[in-house]
Amino acid sequence: MPTVLITGANRGLGLEFARQYAADGWTVIATARNPDAATELKATGAEVHPFESADPASLDALQATLGDRAIDVLIANAGMMGPQQFDRDGWAETLLTNAIAPTELALRLKDNVLASQQRKMIALSSVMGSITGNDSGGLTAYRSSKAALNAAWRSLSIDWKDSGLTLAMVHPGWVQTDMGGPSAQIDATTSVAGLRKVIAGLVPGDSGAFVDYQGNRLDW
Ligand SMILES: NC(=O)c1ccc[n+]([C@@H]2O[C@H](COP(=O)([O-])OP(=O)(O)OC[C@H]3O[C@@H](n4cnc5c(N)ncnc54)[C@H](OP(=O)(O)O)[C@@H]3O)[C@@H](O)[C@H]2O)c1
């Protein structure tokens, strides 16, 4: 069975990805900042490794743990909302967590994904990162971090065009998680079921796409 690696899998969408892939018999490598507290994640049967994406030493440790294991689908899911109002340090932390860290993860684990059959890398982006689609303003830290993520991963998809890798930036919908809040439109089960279908259908010619959980292409 294939192997999936999911970051930030102790709650929210990451936990639901782990549940659904494990239920389908995949090998699930999941990360959490505090594995000891990741009780629900461990109950899925996933392997759980520590990973704090803002800390380069933590990425070194994760890479060493993985060695040359093949990863069919890498899901860079960990993310944060960041400050609502202008805050220099908070904005920088949001850019690091949501854009720089997932890009470094892709660069560092490229060979692991290349060693697999499916060779897919997925970044949890957001429609909030769409500049064309922004007609409501606000949330400058979060929006700019997801726009930066899209720009960076789009570049990776072009740089790696002939490698056999397929990269996609996905919008999960507005989902009932700690981040999405209780008034969000859909639950995590629906979002992740849709995203898994989209991911399963990706082919190398799709690399660099920005797409939602229903398979709709999104404006940048
Ligand atoms: N929910 C939505 O409506 C929605 C919409 C569009 C996009 N997204 C994106 O989907 C992804 C998952 O969102 P979610 O709703 O599941 O969020 P969530 O419930 O807030 O969960 C976020 C996850 O990311 C982890 N995380 C945050 N900062 C981290 C860091 N520096 N290092 C390692 N892990 C970190 C958290 O770990 P801790 O538990 O340790 O904090 C947690 O596991 C995010 O990238 C988000 O931007 C969500």
Q: Which domain holds residue 163?
A: 3-212
Domain count, the chain: 1
Q: What is the pLDDT of residue 60?
A: 98
Q: What does the pLDDT look like over 2-39, one tens digit per residue?
A: 999 999 999 999 999 999 999 999 999 999 999 999 99
Q: What is the pLDDT of residue 179?
A: 97
Q: What is the pLDDT of residue 208?
A: 98
Residue 186 lies in a domain: yes
Q: What does the pLDDT look like over 93-152, one tens digit per residue?
A: 999 999 999 999 999 999 999 999 999 999 999 999 999 999 999 999 999 999 999 999
Residue 23 lies in a domain: yes
Closest-lying ligand 1 atom to the alpha carbon of residue 179? 20
Closest-lying ligand 1 atom to the alpha carbon of residue 93? 31
Residue 218 lies in a domain: no
Q: What is the pLDDT of residue 69?
A: 98
Residue 88 lies in a domain: yes
Query: Residue 39 corresponds to which tokens in the numbers above?
Result: 């009780």
Q: Is the pTM of this model over 0.95?
A: yes
* CA-CA-CA-CA dihedral for 105, 11, 185, 207, to nearest 10: 20
Pocket flag, ligand 1, residue 129 (CB < 6 Å): no
**Which CATH number goes with the domain that contains 172?**
3.40.50.720
Average pLDDT, the chain: 98
Pocket flag, ligand 1, residue 209 (CB < 6 Å): no
Whole-number Å distance, alpha carbon 74 to ligand 1 midpoint, is 15
Residue 41 lies in a domain: yes
* CA-CA-CA-CA dihedral for 207, 208, 211, 217, to nearest 10: -100
Pocket flag, ligand 1, residue 76 (CB < 6 Å): no
Share of the chain above pLDDT 70, in %: 100
Query: Residue 185 corresponds to which tokens in the numbers above?
Result: 């439109």
Pocket flag, ligand 1, residue 70 (CB < 6 Å): no
Residue 160 lies in a domain: yes
Q: What is the pLDDT of residue 35?
A: 98
Residue 217 lies in a domain: no
Type of residue numbered 171: H
Query: Using CA atoms, how far apart are residues 49 and 72, in angstroms rounded to an integer?
Result: 18
Closest-lying ligand 1 atom to the alpha carbon of residue 78? 24
Q: What does the pLDDT look like over 28-38, one tens digit per residue?
A: 999 999 999 99
Residue 66 lies in a domain: yes
Pocket flag, ligand 1, residue 69 (CB < 6 Å): no
